[in-house]
Structures are given as structure tokens and as C-alpha cells.
Amino acid sequence: MGRHQRSRSASASSSATRSSDVTELDFAAADIDCPFGRVEALGPVELRETAYEIFFMSCRSSSSGGNNAGGARGGAMEGEVSSPVAGARGGGGATAAVGGSRVKKALGLKARRSSSSAQPMMARTLSQTSGPASPGRGRRPMTSAEIMRQQMRVTEQSDARLRRTLMRAVVGQVGRRPDTIVLPLELLRQLKPAEFADSEEYHQWQFRQVKLLEAGLILHPSLPLDRLNSAVLRFREVMHATEIRAIDTAKNSDAMRALTNAIQALAWRSGVGSGGGDACHWADGYPLNVLLYVSLLQTVFDQRECTAVLDEVDELLELIKKTWPTLGITKPVHNVCFAWAFFQQYVITSQVEADLAAAALAVLADVAADAKQQGSRDAVYVKVLVSALGAMQEWSERRLLDYHDSYEKGIGGAPTEGMEVLLSLALSAGKIVADRDAAGAAANFAGDRVDYYIRCSMKNAFTKILENGMGDGEPGVVLTELARDTEQLAQIERRSFSPVLRRWHPAPVAIAAVTLHGCFGVVLRQYVGKVTILTEELVRVLQSASRMEKALAQMTAEDAADCSDDRAKAVVGDMEPYEVESVVMGLLKVWMDDRLKITMDCLHRAKETESWIPKSKDEPFAGSAMELMKLAKYTVDEFSEIPASAKDEVVQDLVDGLHAIFQEYISFVASCGSKQNYIPPLPPLTRCNQDSGFFKLWRQAVLPSCQAPEGSLRGGGGGASHHIPRPSISRGTQRLYVRLNTLEYVLTHLHAVDKSLTSSASHLDAARAAAQSAIAHVAEVAAFRLVFLDSRHSFYHGLYVSNVADTRIRPTLRALKQNLTFLVSVLADRAQPVAVREVMKASFEAFLMVLLAGGGDRSFTRGDHAAVKEDFRSLRRAFCSCGEGLVPEEVVAREAETAEGVVELMARPTENLIDAFGVATCESIAAEHDDDDGNSGGGGATPVPPTPRQWDPADPNTILRVLCHRDDEVASQFLKRTFQLAKRR
């Protein structure tokens, strides 16, 4: 068995960079994120390799003596830079390590168990860790450097290469501090392709060093940096070249010279922490420095037994401390990172070793002291502190908010101890952050947070009991069992969890009981609200609820009486007694539900049978509306006779029920489609044919005979001009008028129903608003149906067809006036203004479509402008004179502005229109650039401007349509040249 373990260890050591990191795998599975963020350019393996390089460089000065060098490598690599060793240990290092660890004692960590896997790292020989021993190779204890190399999974080849590189780098630099060396630059200078397995490996290694320099000097600098300075630009150029292929790192190469100059300019800069002079800053920027440092701290945990801390932790930490000047780490930052390292290890090892959490708590005591002294003076320290402690608190609280689910299997056992550990971690971390944010604000932090944990966990546990008990059983039986289970849950809480929670909260039992009482009360009220009559089942439910309520009240009173905290005693007042509905209230609900059902049945009948035929001229609305409003008024009047003490509690229920019925009926009346159903599709854009004179004469001779039926409808000539047309309103449009009258009837009676309610408040405002909105919608649909469907022959299909002179608007106006007269005669007084206003809007829309989207049968010249302008004035006057001021003149003028602007475009010369189109197009493109942040497509033919939702004289599409209907050569050539529009057929 031991041989198997040793061979497996040797295999892992020889393929360290390729093997999976157990910690990293568990890190993801444990659902815990790194609180310090990420460095996008460097992954976990690259960070670890870089951390080891910095560690090795920082420790080299401590092992300059010959004895240490011999102890580190046994003279196997004479002339190389020596490995750092664990103090002046000599050959007895293993014994010293086993003797005891000051750090482990201070953190309360237990001694290692006696086993081969628990053997101290220094006591293990190289044959146990690096593979089978050769016949001539002695067995000796491992040095600190060898421990560090194995802990960080660095291969012997990489370690030897690093050793030789530093030997060459420090020649002539005796006495130079490690923190004054830009390590990646030195490695790039010294390491050559021949020292790697192949060119690809060298390229990847070289690019990692450049990415590291980018992260430390540009992406995450410790001192503010102008990203556009010349050094950054020079560095980017070299980095881009390195990404493509490995660069020449010879001393005299241009790339290396440019890289060296850029790095020197970026690394050697003065700052607050530099004592007024320049200092080397290349790996001390947040979060790069913290991520590298945490990678080093993770080496204190044994790879063979992830829950154990190495006995050599004191020596490793002393060596790791040597990286502080290079990484810019201070003692307070170290304490935060060390606490996080223990917490992370506790989490990713499935929380089986409480000593790790205890160690994190011990370090948090030092963190708390540091936080009080540091305050907010060090920005990096504040970031590290808030990030790490916030992550610890967040992860812990995710389990504490449902501690019944997290620890229910170990009630009274070890998992409950784990809960106490987690509570200590969450509260310690949270209080440090709270104290830092506001002095004195965290006086009751622990008690308040535990109060929150108890309430959330009790709610979650109650919800699980409720969900498990819900099935096909009777609701009353389910509720009776729920009352019994809720009382048992409170007993378990008092017996098992409250003793742990009492350390931070004076009355945990009272909080739990009050919370459960409130949860059950919600379910009880929902059940009682659905019961229509008082039954034996309801009596049993109320009795069970009463017994449970008494038990919870007794727990609350006893727990609050045992403590002197006034806040705990105030908890008793939070338990509001259950209120059981009286028989009168129950009967009232039965009555109310019955009345609402009758009204709803009326609504359903209306949906099935309503034909939108008025009852009579005196009642021009649907009969279903009269029946519905009569039932609603009767219900409200009867409700008003109920004594006030009973009705005030259910008045809102009645209002909500009636309101829902009114809303549904209004939606039913307004479900008549939309105006888009009647607007004809826009024809494709074309340009005028510029026909010969002979062809124009032929069209004038043929078209009148082809359009004789429509000509007679328009009264285009002869005796027909004296014919007075009959209204052309179809049956479908007339039914829409009935819908309008119906909505006006509902709106009027909603006010009467609202006044009948006992309360002085207005209850049906939303229903009245819905009715008004529905009236506007139905009026709009009716208007567009009247104009575009009923009047299509005289208006959209007939106006200005062939030529303007022979197809003026006069016949259309005669038909329109007849239709308006009929509309006013059938609509209720309140509905007339909105209906006429919508007909006006639809007429103006139709007139604009004739001018802008009239198809191939319409073309205009500048000479037609006067006639078109006069026709539109006539159309406008028709609405000004309709009825007795149904549409105010200012409203007509406002709605006519767009059409008048389009008509004025017809008077402008073609060249002027083309110029206006260009200006409008440029403005439109500029607006699109602003909206799209400068992203726009290019290439291809000139696109046609999009059709606007509403015509506008300043819109490029509107101007383009005027040009498409302009009958002259200049317009035709412009359209052909710019948009390749085809001629009309």
C-alpha cells in the first residue's frame, strides 16, 4: 500500500503542470467564487507558475551561502543559484519541523496524525516524492524549496531552468534587492529557445511572460497610468508581435530594446509608497498581486491530505513573506488573505475539518484589529478586506438562511457544531465590514443578523413541510396536520438549534415561534377565505390552530421572560392572535360570491349572444349592457343595507369582483380589431412615365368609359352632379357605432355604481379609465372603416385618379357630409365628439395617402397644387362646420398641420424638393448614428428612407413620395439615378 502511494506521488510530481488541481476542481464544485476577481490574461496555472518564480527570486538572497546551497541541492548543480532552505537547519531540518509549529499552535490547529501520509514534508525523502531512488543516490530530507516546488506543482525541469536563469541574471548584481528586479524581463533576457522542448513551448512561455507584464504594468498598475502614453503604445506593439511568434530576445534586438525601454518607463515610477523617489512597480497592483499571493498561501495545505496544514508552515510563511516588497503586500493585507485561504480550504474540503474554520476565525481577530487601525487610508487594503470578508459572509449566509435543511441530519451532533462555526465566521466577517463602513452602526450586528437567519430558516422549513403535506387530501385535513407539524418544528428548534443561536441572540425561541405563527396564519386565512359555509371540518381546523397558537405563545413568553433585553420582550407583541371569521361574515361572503356569479353569468351570455343591434332609437346600445349594469347596481344597493361593522371588511373584495367583471365586459365590447385592418397596403415606389402626348390623349379618352361606375358615384358631370348621395355606412360600421353607445352607457352608469358604495373613496377609477380608452379605440376603428372601406370608391380609390382637374374632392365631400349626418343621428351625445374627431383624423390620413401613396394611377404637377390645396381646405371646413362645434377649430387646425405641410411640398420646384430631400436624409442618418453609437452599414445602392409611422413634411420618405408622384423629367431622372426606381406600367 505504501509503495502504491509513493508511486502515485511520484507520478503526480513528474506531471505537475498537466495534472488536475484538486483544490481548483473542488473550488468550482463548492459554489464559491474568488472574491478578488480575475486577471483575464492569466489563468490559475499561469498565476501559480508566476507566483513560484517571484517566490524563488525573492528568497535567493537568503541562500547565498555555500552551506545552504549544498543543503538545497546536494552539490548536484554547482554554480547555480541555490534553493532557499528553511532556516539554518542543516541536516536536522526534519526533526526541527516535527518538533512543533508556532503558527499552528497560535491558530489552534491539531498535531498531525501518525501515518505515512501525515508525515512532515521535510521528513519525506526525495525518493518518496520524486520517484524511485537510484542505487547511488542518497535518501535525504526535503528542503523548503523542494516542498514549495511540489506544493505549487512545478516540474523539476522548470525549477532547474529557473535556477540557471537567475544565476545568469544576478551576475554582477550582488546586493541588489529582489523587489528592484522586473523578473519577467530578466527571464526573457536569459532564457533561450534551446532550453525548451520545442519552439512552441518556448513561444507559449514567452507570451505568458509578456501577458504577465501587461497585467502588472498596464491592466492592473498599482499607480495611476495614462493608457495612451508612449511606453504603453511601444509595449503593445511588442506584445502584438509576441502573440504572433516568439520574438528575438537578444540584447541588441530591436524588439528586446523597445520592450526593455517600455518596461523600465512603466515599472520605475514614483508614488505615495515610494518614499518620494522612484520604485519598481510591476507585480504590486490589485488584484494581480493578491491573486499571486493567495497562490503562495495555498501551499501551506498538504496535497496528500487537503484538510491538513503542513508542519513546516512557519518556515514556508517566513519564506513567502520575502515576496512582500515585490508584491506590495503588507501585514494587514496578508492577514486578510491568510484568513481567506483557511476559509476557502474549509469550504472546498466539504467543511469536514472544523480546525480550518477555527484557524480562519483566529486570523479574523487580527483582521479586526487591523481594520480599526487602517480605516480607509489604504485603498487596496479596503478592496481586499471588503471583497474577502464579503465573500465569506455571503457564502456562509446562503447556508444559514436555511440551516434546518443544511444541518437537520445532524441535530444534536457534529453538523450542529458546523453550524456554530459557520455562524462565527459569518458574524465575525460581517461585523468587521459593518464596523468599517460606519462606526457604531454595528452595535447590534450579531443579534440582528441571527434574528434574520432564524426568520428565514423557519419560513423555509415551514414551506417544505407545507409542500410535502399538500396532496390529494382534503384541505381541512392537510391544515390540521400542518398545525401539528408546525408545533413539532418549533420543539425541534428549541431543543436543537436555539442553544447554539442563544450565544448571539437573547431570545431565539421567541423569534422562531413568532415566525412560525405568522407563516401558519397566512395559510389559515387563505383556507378560511375559501370556505363558503361553516362546517365540522372548519371547526377542527380552527381548534388545531388554536392549540398550536397557545403552544407557540407559551414558548415565546417563556423565552422572553428569561432575558433582560427589552428587544426580546418586544417580540411577544409581534404575535398577533388569529382572527376567526364570524358566521355573519361567512354568510356575507357566500352572498357576495353568489351575486358576483350571477353578474359573471350575464357577462358570459353577452359574449355568446350579443349581436350589437340596438334595442330601439331611444336606447341605441346593446341590451347586455343594460342587464349587466342593472345587476351591478342592485348588488351594490343591497350591500349598502348590511351593517357597517360587517361590510367594511369585505367591501374591497366586492369592489374587486365587480371591477374584474366590468373590465372584462369593456374588453369584450372593444374587441373589434384595429385600424390597420382597413388601411390599404402601400404600393411600391415608382417614378412617373413621362408619357408622350399621344399616349396621354389615349388615356383621357379610354379611362372615363372604364371608370363610368365610379364616375357616377362621384357625380363627375352632367345631371349626376345634382344627385344627393345616400349615406354609404355599412352594417359593420353601424355595429361599431352601437359598441360606442354601449361603452358610453357603461361609463355613465359606472359613476352611479361607485357613488352607491358606502365608502367615500372612489373604487372604480380603473374601470372608468378602461372604458374611456375603449371608447377612443372603437371610435378610431369605426372611423378608418368608414373612410377606407365604406367610402373607398369616392375617396381613396377615386380622388385624383388620372388627373386632378376631373376628379376633385367635391363628390367625396358630399358623401362625407351625409355619413357624418348619419353618424351624429345614431350616436349618443357624449360619443359624438370623439367619433367625429376620429373620422377627421382618418380623412386626413386618407387624403395624405392619396397624395403620397396613390399608386400608378395618380401623378401631380406643380400646377395641381392650387386645386389640391383648395380641396383640402374644403375637407377641413367640413369638420369645422359639422354639428354644433363637435370638433373645435383649434383641434381641426392642429390635426391638419401635417397634411397642409405635405400639400405645400407640392408647390415647391422639383430641384428644391431634391435639395430638401438631401438635407432631410442627412439629418436622418445623423440621428441614426447617434442612436447606434456610430455603427452603420455601408456599400450597395442608396437605400430608400424608411416609411415613418406618421407622414411629416420634413421626413425624407415623405419628400421622396412627393417626388415619385411629381410628373416631370427632373424628378424622374433623380429617382432613376439615385434609387433605380422603375417606371410605372
For the chain, give the mean pLDDT: 79
Looking at residue 30, its pLDDT comes to: 59
pLDDT in tens, 555-572: 888 887 777 676 666 777
Identify the pLDDT of residue 483: 92
Task: Quick: pLDDT tens for 490-527.
Answer: 999 998 898 889 888 888 999 999 999 999 988 888 88
Q: Residue 97 pLDDT > 70, yes or no?
A: no
Residue 21 predicted with pLDDT over 80:
no
* Spacing of C-alpha 424 from chain mean position: 32
Q: 200-208, long-range: CB within 8 Å, 24+ apart, which pairs? A: 202/246, 203/245, 203/246, 206/242, 206/246, 206/247, 206/249, 207/242, 207/243, 207/246, 208/42, 208/46, 208/49, 208/50
Mean pLDDT confidence for 542-550: 84
Q: What is the DSSP secondary structure assignment for residue 90, as one 8-state letter?
A: G
Does position 304 have pLDDT exceeding 90, yes or no?
A: no
Q: What is the pLDDT of residues 805-830, one digit of tens each?
A: 888 999 899 989 998 989 888 888 88
Query: What one-letter code names the amino acid at 88?
Result: A
Mention every residue, 6+ apart, whose C-beta is less than 8 A from residue 203: 245, 246
Q: Where does the pLDDT of residue 163 fall: very low under 50, low under 70, confident under 90, or very high at 90 and above?
A: confident
Residue corresponding to grid cell 444541518 = 407
- Is pLDDT larger for residue 413 or for residue 792? 792
Q: Residues 349-375: what's their mean pLDDT?
A: 88
Average of pLDDT values for 900-915? 92
Q: Does residue 968 carry a pLDDT above 70? A: yes
Q: What is the pLDDT of residue 64?
A: 45
pLDDT of amino acid 96: 41
- pLDDT band, very low/low/confident/very high, at 327 (cuts 50, 70, 90): very high
For residue 76, name the pLDDT band (cuts at 50, 70, 90): very low
708-734 confidence digits (pLDDT tens): 333 333 333 333 344 455 567 888 888
CA distances from 216 to 46, 156, 282, 861 (A): 14, 27, 5, 72
Whether 359 shows a pLDDT value over 90: the answer reads: yes
Q: What does the block give as the cell for 971?
A: 424628378
Residue 903 or residue 438, greater confidence: 903
Provide the grid cell at 943: 437605400
Whether 203 shows a pLDDT value over 80: the answer reads yes
The CA distance from 624 to 609, in Å, is: 9
Query: Residue 900 pLDDT > 50, yes or no?
Result: yes
Mean pLDDT along residues 575-601: 75
**pLDDT score recorded for residue 714:** 36
The three cell numbers of residue 457 are: 430558516
Can you tell me the distance from the alpha carbon of 905 to that of 895, in angstroms, rounded to the nearest whole number?
17
Buried b (16+ CB within 10 A) or exposed e, 793-822: bbbbbbbbbbbbebbbbebbbbbbbbbbeb
Mean pLDDT of 898-919: 91
pLDDT digit string, tens, across residues 641-651: 665 455 667 78
Taking residues 192-216, what's their average pLDDT? 90
Distance separating alpha carbons of residues 501 and 711, to the nearest angstrom? 94
What's the confidence (pLDDT) of residue 942? Answer: 72
Q: Indicate the pTM of the whole model.
A: 0.57
Instruction: Please write the tens of the pLDDT for every residue from 458-472.
Output: 999 999 998 888 766
Question: What angle (nearest 5°) sits at the alpha carbon of residue 627, between those of residues 625 and 633?
Answer: 100
Please tell me the distance from the alpha carbon of residue 46 to that of residue 41, in angstroms, as a whole number.
9
Q: How far apart are CA 752 and CA 629, in angstroms?
A: 10
Cell (9 digits) for 381: 487594503
Beta-carbon contacts of 214 under 8 Å, excluding residues fewer than 6 positions away, are 41, 235, 239
> What is the domain partition of the chain in residue ranges?
31-59+144-325, 453-578
Tell me what percent of the residues of the chain surpass a pLDDT of 90: 28
pLDDT of residue 351: 85
**Per residue in 767-801, pLDDT tens?**
889 999 999 999 999 999 999 998 888 898 889 98
